[in-house]
Amino acid sequence: MSQRKPYVGGNWKMNTNRTTSADLARGVVDGLRDAAHVDVAVFPPFPYLLAVRAILRDRSSSIKLGAQDVYPKPDGAFTGEVSTEMLKDCGVEVVLCGHSERRHVLGESDAHVNAKLRAVLDAGLEAILCVGETLDERNNGHTDPVNQRQVRGGLADVTGDQISRVTIAYEPVWAIGTGKTATPADAQAVHANIRKLIAGMFGQDAAERIRIMYGGSVKPSNAADLFLSPDIDGGLIGGASLKVGEFVPIVRAAASKYTTP
Ligand code: PGA
């Protein structure tokens, strides 16, 4: 049993439309109305943030509104980008930083991810720092060095106070959207090493408190086994977060791990 409250995020990526994002939000809120002992966030595409916020508010839901990305500058001539203040204005509470699709498809560096994460924390928001190795990196024995580099780089200059608003999501790139999931033992080993690294950077107390989610083809059929691992504190869910009938059981599987401290 864990002392850390499990946390599950639904990353909708570039999916849904005006109708289906609202249907999905209503379905998730209604499906999790009685769910306790778990934090939940949904990450709709930018154009649907306000509509999803209205649904969460109308139903007095504790589900957090999340954004999939942000630009680190406060305002100005950055065509197409969105600032932390704009996100706050739309009711966003938590922002993904360094998702593997942004690193590998959009070419974001550790330094850029760090700038985003610090902007998010400086704005008083929560951040989820995503890290993970590619299949080549894993096959070449570089899993831990890559994840350590991304954690160190992503958290550079983060203060001891700010780390309490950070969650880490370990998402092996080869497991995202592929149907391949890390075994609970493989994921646990990486999570434990990340927690050790956090202890070295921020102290033992911060390491024991920080939540480390697993992401990559999490489904209702594998969620419970993954979440049983001591250092896996929930999940960041892509494909399965688009279906109420899959996301809700995944959240419930995470919730069942928690015991009130
Ligand atoms: P997936 O995506 O669950 O579709 O593998 C996870 C993620 O990218 O956050």
Write down all domains in the chain, each with its CATH number in brackets: 7-255 (3.20.20.70)
Q: What pLDDT does 180 receive? A: 86
Q: What pLDDT does 45 receive? A: 98
Q: What pLDDT does 260 receive? A: 47
Going by their DSSP bridges, the two strands 234-237 and 212-215 should be labelled as parallel
Residue among 127, 102, 108, 107 at smallest CA distance from 117: 127
For residue 154, give Cα distances in angstroms to 19, 48, 167: 35, 27, 12
- Shortest-distance Cα residue to atom 1 of ligand 1: 238
| pLDDT-flagged residues of the chain (< 70) | 1-2, 259-261
For residue 79, give Cα distances in angstroms to 44, 47, 75, 111, 220: 21, 16, 10, 21, 40
Dist CA 99 CA 152 (whole Å): 15
Dist CA 124 CA 174 (whole Å): 32
- Shortest-distance Cα residue to atom 6 of ligand 1: 238
| Predicted TM-score of the model (pTM) | 0.96
In one-letter notation, the amino acid at residue 49 is: L
Pocket of ligand 1 (CB under 6 A): 11, 171, 176-177, 215-218, 236-240
60 exposure class (CB count in 10 Å sphere: 0-12, 13-18, 19+): exposed
Centre of ligand 1 to C-alpha 75, Å, is 30
